[in-house]
Amino acid sequence: MPTRIFDIHPHIISADTARYPVSPLGGKRSAWSEHRPVDFEQLVDGMNAAGVDKAAIVHSSTTYGYDNSYLADSIALHRDRFAGVFSVDVRAPDAPQKIRYWVGRGLSGLRLFAVGSTVKTDQSWIADSATFPAWECAIELGLPVAISMRQEGLPHLEQVLTRYPQVRVVLDHLLHAPIADGPPYAEAAPLFAMAQYPNVYLKFTSAIVKKTRDGRATPESFLAKLLSAFGSNRIAWGSNYPAVEGSLPDIVADSISTLAFLPHDDQENIFWRTAAALYPALQA
């Protein structure tokens, strides 16, 4: 069992829509944010009950678009326990200025949203030259860049990684790569191929924990291949709470139980050390 737990993928939604208006990316709000929202105080209560020490809260683009105000306001007085991962329109001419603004508000990670439950885009924009100033700004400020995307878009991401080998990229939800085919996990070959880039990290979320038990997949065979390719020091755990059903204590318990067979050092890396390396604000 890990000695500490850092969650790098919870979300928060405010009930105060006057102060924090709903304006989802793509014009369609995510169902979870509407039907089972959790505000900052509720997240703190859930973390306390689940034994989660710290968290890098991920801005909900499918609720607030590029307005990260609720996230910034929520963690302003709690920097000892929280980091914030924000979103901006990286293709906009003022993207670097917006990035600097949110960093100035205390946020310390950038997230790009190319594909998700409510957004399906042509992922080629990831490597559009219009995004280059944003990538360069992230490198200058030392920001890890999390990205929600799918395997089909990886050739575009590889263009960025080749151009900017210094940038640390975190692949949300392991790209939701298909793994039900089981060993040797041929359908997830594009995901495993990303291990060649030493600056690519993986976000191993609760949704993927559950997928390791689908079809011919098993936690033992999948994690063995994943750790062999990436090493546990490039894998960080995230709850995805409340975007997935269940209480945070239940989500945490299932993740700990599923990964309990791993050596202790690997559990430590996945559950908190990698998170601390990606988001130094969590080390305070």
The edge-to-edge listing of strands for the beta sheet with 169-171 is 6-7, 54-58, 82-86, 109-113, 145-148, 169-171, 200-205, 235-238
In this prediction, residue 118 carries a pLDDT of 58
Question: Can you name the CATH fold of 6-283?
Answer: TIM Barrel (3.20.20)
| Segment 65-73 mean pLDDT | 98
> Domain residues of the chain, as ranges?
6-283
* pLDDT value of position 120: 67
| Distance between CA atoms of residues 75 and 129, nearest Å | 33
Dump pLDDT digits (tens) for 237-247: 999 999 999 99
Question: pLDDT tens digit string along 10-65?
Answer: 999 999 999 999 999 888 898 888 889 999 999 999 999 999 999 999 999 999 99
Q: What is the mean pLDDT of the chain?
A: 96
Q: Is the pLDDT of residue 2 over 60?
A: yes
**What angle separates helix 40-50 from helix 248-258, to the nearest 10 degrees?**
40
Average pLDDT over residues 273-277: 98
Sign of CA dihedral 45, 48, 54, 60: negative
Rounded distance between C-alpha atoms, residue 223 and residue 158, angstroms: 24
Predicted confidence (pLDDT) per residue in 127-167, tens digit:
999 999 999 999 999 999 999 999 999 999 999 999 999 99
User: Quick one: angle between helices 132-141 and 95-104, nearest 10?
Assistant: 30
